[in-house]
């Protein structure tokens, strides 16, 4: 999310990231308690929808609906839902997550290769006050 917002010039405050992390964590917390009551697959679907709803409905207020639904929603679907679903592939979980991580690294490197990070994060020089 940080890379996407940096590339798009979207200024999110650390509190925004805190709430997004809480929405991601809601998936795991809710899943831990619902799997005892309903089937694992149904619990997984419900928890995915709840977590994605939290993220998208929050970011539509913070940024805009297009960013919330497309960039953030897609990122959450890939990195929370699909990565978590990898645990259903018996014996292939580690390989699935590793391949996903390598593909992600490649995509992010290609998208950010021309960014001059020192310019992107240059500190604004504040005038020095003298007494």
On whether residue 31 sits in a domain, the answer given is yes
Domains: count for the chain: 1
On whether residue 10 sits in a domain, the answer given is yes
- Helix, strand and coil content of the chain, in percent to the nearest 5, comes to 75, 0, 25
On whether residue 21 sits in a domain, the answer given is yes
Tell me if 21 sits within 8 A of 15, measured CB to CB: no
Report the predicted TM-score, pTM, of the whole model to 2 decimal places: 0.78
On whether residue 47 sits in a domain, the answer given is yes
Residue 43 lies in domain? 2-113
Tens digit of each residue's pLDDT (9 = 90 or more) over 32-51: 999 999 999 999 999 999 99
The reported pLDDT for the residue numbered 103 is: 95
On whether residue 128 sits in a domain, the answer given is no
- Quick check: helix, strand or coil at residue 30? helix
On whether residue 44 sits in a domain, the answer given is yes
The reported pLDDT for the residue numbered 130 is: 60
Whether the pLDDT of residue 96 is over 80: the answer is yes
On whether residue 97 sits in a domain, the answer given is yes
On whether residue 122 sits in a domain, the answer given is no
What are φ and ψ of residue 29, in 5° steps?
A: -65, -50
């Amino acid at each position: 999310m940080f890379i996407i917002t940096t590339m798009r010039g979207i200024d999110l405050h650390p509190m925004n990231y805190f709430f997004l992390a809480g929405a991601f964590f809601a998936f795991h917390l809710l899943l831990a308690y619902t799997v005892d009551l309903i089937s694992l697959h149904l619990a997984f679907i419900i928890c995915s929808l709840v977590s994605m709803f939290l993220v998208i409905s929050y970011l539509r207020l913070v940024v805009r609906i297009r960013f919330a639904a497309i960039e953030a929603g897609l990122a959450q679907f890939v990195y929370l839902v699909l990565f978590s679903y990898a645990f259903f592939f018996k014996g292939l979980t580690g390989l699935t997550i590793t391949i996903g991580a390598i593909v992600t690294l490649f995509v992010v490197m290609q998208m950010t290769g021309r960014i001059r990070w020192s310019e992107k994060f240059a500190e604004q020089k504040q005038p020095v006050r003298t007494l």
